Copies of this chain bind each other. A is one copy, B any other.
Amino acid sequence: LLSAVAEASLCSINGIPLVRNISELPQDNYGRGGLSHITVAGSVLHGMKEIEVWLQTFAPGSHTPIHRHSCEEVFVVLKGSGTLYLAPNSHVKYPGTPEEFPIFSNSTFHIPVNDAHQVWNTNEREDLQVLVIISRPPVKVFIYEDWSMPHTAAKLKFPYHWDEECLLTTPPSAKDEL
């Protein structure tokens, strides 16, 4: 799989310029309505091992899933406003009613490790644009359907590669060997 990554032409970390224009990087919604995701610096695309940086834009009303992860995560809000829902990890069996924090342009916040959380563009008139930084890629994420779902029932999605189509790309040379 690793050699597949290295050899896949569209996804290769080789040949990608060191300084990249973010507005020319590929963006996708990865099947999530209202989302635009750009991997600014990533493990699959750019060989990062310890940090990833994403630029995400949420249309009014769109949001992340309710989820938790054991990596560190920092948000920097570049544009717009919205709401952070955060359920502090208090040794109960499910997240429970989250606290609500207003987030706004030029604000920053980090997610306490393993706390269930959700970021929501609750501003009906404006996109919410955030820079997201996570440690230890790829993220091992547990997704909740609602705030009363037991922690043990949260669905693991791992690895959570935004750019997983690159991981799935099998180069012709590898096929030839079969």
Contact = CB atoms under 8 A, between A and B. Distances in A.
Please give the count of copies of this chain that the complex contains: 2
A22 B76 contact: yes
Interface stretch (A3-11, A100-108, A154-162, A166-174): A100-108
Interface string A115-136: 0000000000000000101111
A121 to B, nearest CB: 15
Contact of A22 (B41, B50, B106): B106
Count class of interface residues, chain A: 20 to 34
Q: Which 10 A-B pairs have the closest CB atoms?
A: A50-B135, A19-B109, A50-B72, A41-B74, A19-B101, A51-B135, A22-B106, A40-B108, A53-B74, A41-B110
